[in-house]
């Protein structure tokens, strides 16, 4: 709750809300902030809506109603709404789709409206969104103006609006927006993915968030249409991304210049951009790809990205944020309370708020359990049967998980047996990170064997009834990861993982050590220690290492003729502490690294 209320205060301080108020007040005030500032308010509204799905908070509900009222009063009669273009810039509407973010802002409003409607059942914001979407369709629909979005987002929103209202014109419009790309409506820019038709793309280039949002919207279209050519393009782009363009964290977007993807294997550590919004976009795309074929590789990457690329973007006090996320730092990179370009803070807020929606899904066969997290869920199967599940675990610190069926309410109750039970499947994800190890299961305390198909789903089909219980034991061990030889900064270096978590060395845990001057001894088994004093309880790793001593000859030299006896020496054995990467930079500033020398 701290995050959602503190972000509202930031909108009051930085002008996000006054941009709406000025449109209904007699005193003229200039627009504050970037042209796309409205979108951050909409992301906040979406986050607040998802929070209200699990708990009723009167104060938050009142704030939401106030913001919705501001938006309603700021909307033009024809449906247009964008506070930057509503007064002094009104003559510029729709004049610069490549750079001015009008469609992008509209997309976030529509997504917020759908979330609000699904949670509350109220149409106050949904009606605003429909009116806006109809205006956009009137402007850019079939046989209308040839235009598309410079910053994708509207594509996902319109598909979701189609799903919500059943009005096919929104799906038709999305197809048009995607099909118009690659025809130089945005100047033929590779940065904006306008250089080739989407279905011809071989690799993602340009602005990372835009590219991944576009892929998310295209996946939504493919889910609705089943188009094979679109599916092939999406799979090709995903494969290239995970094989050549993604950090060990799951972060994407290597370049500060343009917040962009780099060349294949261009993944610098200290200069990593890895924008928090790009990680969130990756989560959104993987969730949609997962719906295509149920392949666990998408839920594996989604989990990894949430823990290691999204969560680092917010502090453990829930009020400070990273925009970019380096993998190597000297202690100077710290989270900020807010940014002038504040896209990441409300984006991470809505992502955390909607995380419960990533845990489960349903199909004709039954219930899929994609993520392991303590939770209670009520699910309606496609047959109409209602099932209530409870999941209990201390994941990701431990791999012991209990799933209990609390209730089964079949649509067609068996009057003869009087038993509330029905046959359906439970699909349990076997994480890819267990490698060649196996998980163990029991059902109602009867052994169900070991299963080693990592990176897949285990289907258990039976007549389930209330009280049935599954216990899962997932092996969570420390693993050392190396990288592709073409990633030159990581040559002869390793990263440390345990379960779904990436670990790092941070100076505050190793005050007597020069972090870059250590070599991890991989043949020694790390000690695993749960420390309840660390941020409410975390598992830290204690590893054997050796200190590297830089010889005195290098004190005043940058280069020297190669001689084997000159360079570095190994010092005495030491112990070093590694902590989860998502928790770094929450204490005293100091060096941090993810890739380490080793022996």
Beta carbons within 10 angstroms of residue 273's beta carbon = 24
450: exposed, middle or buried (C-beta count within 10 Å: 0-12, 13-18, 19+)?
exposed
- Decide if 23 contacts 90 (C-beta within 8 A): no
Three-class SS of 38-65: HHHHHHHHHHHHHHHCCCCCHHHHHHHH
Reported as type and span, the H/E element at residue 282 is helix 276-293
- Does the active-site annotation cover 349? no
Three-point CA angle 19, 21, 23, nearest 5°: 80
- Decide if 594 contacts 502 (C-beta within 8 A): yes
- Does the active-site annotation cover 259? yes
Catalytic residue among 160, 259, 303, 422: 259
Strands 478-481 and 446-451: unpaired
Pick the closest to residue 225 from 263, 264, 175 (CA basis).
Answer: 175
- Decide if 414 contacts 437 (C-beta within 8 A): no
Verify cis geometry, omega within 30 degrees of 0, for the bond prior to 396: yes
Reported as type and span, the H/E element at residue 352 is helix 344-353
CA distance 495 to 520: 10
Tokens of 10: 């930031």
CA distance 348 to 106: 19
Q: 286 by DSSP, 3-state: which?
A: helix
- Decide if 457 contacts 429 (C-beta within 8 A): yes
β-sheet bridge partners, residue 366? 425
CA distance 384 to 409: 9
- Decide if 159 contacts 224 (C-beta within 8 A): yes
| The total number of residues written for the chain in this structure | 599
Catalytic residue among 215, 343, 344, 349: 343
Query: Which residues are CB-neighbours of 292 under 8 A, at least 6 positions away?
Result: 219, 222, 223, 231, 234
- In whole angstroms, what separates CA 383 from the centre of its chain? 31
The string over 39-77, giving b where at least 16 C-beta atoms fall within 10 Å of a residue's C-beta and e elsewhere, is bbbbbbbbbbbbbbeeeebeebeebbeebbebbbebbbe
Q: Which residues are catalytic?
A: 259, 343
């Amino acid at each position: 709750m701290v995050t959602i209320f503190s972000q509202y205060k930031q909108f009051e301080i930085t002008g996000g809300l006054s941009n709406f108020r000025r449109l209904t007040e007699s005193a003229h005030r200039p627009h504050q902030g970037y042209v796309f500032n409205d979108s951050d308010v909409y992301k906040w509204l979406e986050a607040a809506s998802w929070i209200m799905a699990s708990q009723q908070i009167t104060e938050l509900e009142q704030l939401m109603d106030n913001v919705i009222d501001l938006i309603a009063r700021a909307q033009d009669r024809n449906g247009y709404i964008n506070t930057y273009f509503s007064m002094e810039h009104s003559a510029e509407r729709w004049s610069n789709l490549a750079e001015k973010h009008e469609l992008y802002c509209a997309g976030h409003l529509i997504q917020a409206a759908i979330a609000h409607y699904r949670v509350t059942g109220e149409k106050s914001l949904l009606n605003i969104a429909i009116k806006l979407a109809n205006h956009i369709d009137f402007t850019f629909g079939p046989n209308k103006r040839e235009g598309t979005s410079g910053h994708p987002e509207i594509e996902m929103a319109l598909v979701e609006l189609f799903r919500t209202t059943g009005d096919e014109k929104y799906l038709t419009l999305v197809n048009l927006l995607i099909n118009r790309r690659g025809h130089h409506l945005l100047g033929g820019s590779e940065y904006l993915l306008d250089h080739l038709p989407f279905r011809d793309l071989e690799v993602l280039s340009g602005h990372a968030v835009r590219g991944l949002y576009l892929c998310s919207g295209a996946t939504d279209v493919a889910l609705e249409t089943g188009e094979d050519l679109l599916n092939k393009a999406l799979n090709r782009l995903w494969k290239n991304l995970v094989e050549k363009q993604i950090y060990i964290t799951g972060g994407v977007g290597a370049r500060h210049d343009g917040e962009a993807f780099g060349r294949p294997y261009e993944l610098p550590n200290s200069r990593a951009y890895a924008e928090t919004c790009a990680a969130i976009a990756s989560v959104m795309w993987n969730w949609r790809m997962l719906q295509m074929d149920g392949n666990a590789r998408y839920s594996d990457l989604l989990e990894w990205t949430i823990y290691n690329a999204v969560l680092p973007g917010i502090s453990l006090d829930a009020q400070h944020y990273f925009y970019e996320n380096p993998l190597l730092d000297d202690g100077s990179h710290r989270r900020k309370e807010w940014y002038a370009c504040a896209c990441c803070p409300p984006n991470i807020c809505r992502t955390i708020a909607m995380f419960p929606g990533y845990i489960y899904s349903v199909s004709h066969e039954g219930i899929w359990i994609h993520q392991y997290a303590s939770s209670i869920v009520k699910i309606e199967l496609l047959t109409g049967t209602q099932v209530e599940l409870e999941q209990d675990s201390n994941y990701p610190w431990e791999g012991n998980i209990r799933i209990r069926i609390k209730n089964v309410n079949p649509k067609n109750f068996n009057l003869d047996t009087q038993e509330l039970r029905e046959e359906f499947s439970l699909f349990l994800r076997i994480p890819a990170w267990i490698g060649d190890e196996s998980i163990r299961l029991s059902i109602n305390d009867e052994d169900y064997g070991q299963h080693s198909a990592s990176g897949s789903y285990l289907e258990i089909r039976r007549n389930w009834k209330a009280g049935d219980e599954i216990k899962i034991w997932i092996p969570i061990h420390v693993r050392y990861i190396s990288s592709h030889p073409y990633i030159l900064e990581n040559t002869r270096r390793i990263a440390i993982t345990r379960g779904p978590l990436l670990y790092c060395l941070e100076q505050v845990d190793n005050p007597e050590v020069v972090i870059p001057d250590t070599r991890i001894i991989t043949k020694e088994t790390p000690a695993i220690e749960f420390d309840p004093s660390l941020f409410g309880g975390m598992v830290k790793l204690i590893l054997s290492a050796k200190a590297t001593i830089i010889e005195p000859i290098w004190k005043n030299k940058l280069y020297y003729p190669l001689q084997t006896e000159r360079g570095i020496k190994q010092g005495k054995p030491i112990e070093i502490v590694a902590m989860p990467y998502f928790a770094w930079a929450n204490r005293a500033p100091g060096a941090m690294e993810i890739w380490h020398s080793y022996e």
